[in-house]
Each structure stands twice: as C-alpha cells, then as structure tokens.
Amino acid sequence: MTSTIKADGVVLKTDEVGRVRTPVARREQLLDEFERSGLSGIKFAALVGVKYPTFAAWLIKRRRARGTTAENTEKPIKTMRWLEAVVEQAHDCAGRPEATLILELPGGVRVPIQHSSQIPLAAALVQALAPAC
C-alpha cells in the first residue's frame, strides 16, 4: 500500500515502510544540481534531505547508464578560486606607514608584496602552484 505526503507543494508517494518515492524527473534534477555544485555527495545529500546511501545509488545508476564511472569522470575545472588576502600595517626604515600584502601559501610560506609591480609575479606564482594547492 502506498500513501502520499506533501513537500514544497509537490505530492510525493511513500511506501508502506514510509520511504519517500522520488519521481525520476526530480531525481535527475537533483543529480544535475549535484554535478554543478562542487559539493561532496554526503554534504549535498544532507542539504537536499536525501539519505546518502539512496543518493549514492542514484548517482551510480546514472553513471552506469551514461557509461561513466568515478575513475574516469574528471571534475570540471573551476574558473575562479578565492584566496584570502590580509593587509598588515608595517613601517619602512623612516617610520612611515607602509602597506604590505602577505600571500600565505600551503606549508607556511609567506610572500610579502609591497609594490603593485610585484602583483603579476605573485599571480604567476599562485597559478603555477594551483595544481599542488
């Protein structure tokens, strides 16, 4: 026997044990959102209110249908990355205030940037280290 419940204005069927039957269209929509999100499967499943084992089964079924697996599926390259910038107030030899941007890299390396002419060099350094970060 099945019953129905209402969620977000949509009627969803449940089985006799109380499991919600998600329509195929909604399942595909959720999987599309997951692929765009960049979140882990566990975090995404919790966010949308689906138990992770169920979500993982949907994902495996979809990948098998498309002929892709986790091993040969590459994540899309993100075009934007956020870095934290901290501006510290420093003083030069004459005691005048001088702004210094400190670029902190993995491993505790700190790169001070004191002039705008150093920005392209710092950007090239971050870009060169991007695969390692």
Cα–Cα dist 64/67, whole Å: 5
Can you tell me the distance from the alpha carbon of 103 to that of 2, in angstroms, rounded to the nearest whole number?
A: 59
Give the start-to-end residue ranges of the domains of the chain.
Answer: 3-66, 86-132
Taking only the tens place, the pLDDT of each residue in 40-62 is 899 999 888 888 999 999 999 99
Give the pair of three-digit tokens for residue 103: 């670029």
Q: Kindly report the length of the chain.
A: 133
Each residue's pLDDT tens digit, 64-119: 888 866 555 555 655 656 666 666 666 667 777 677 777 887 777 888 888 888 88
Query: What is the dihedral sign for C-alpha 81, 82, 86, 87?
Result: positive
| pTM of the model as a whole | 0.44
Partners of 3 in the β-ladder: 14
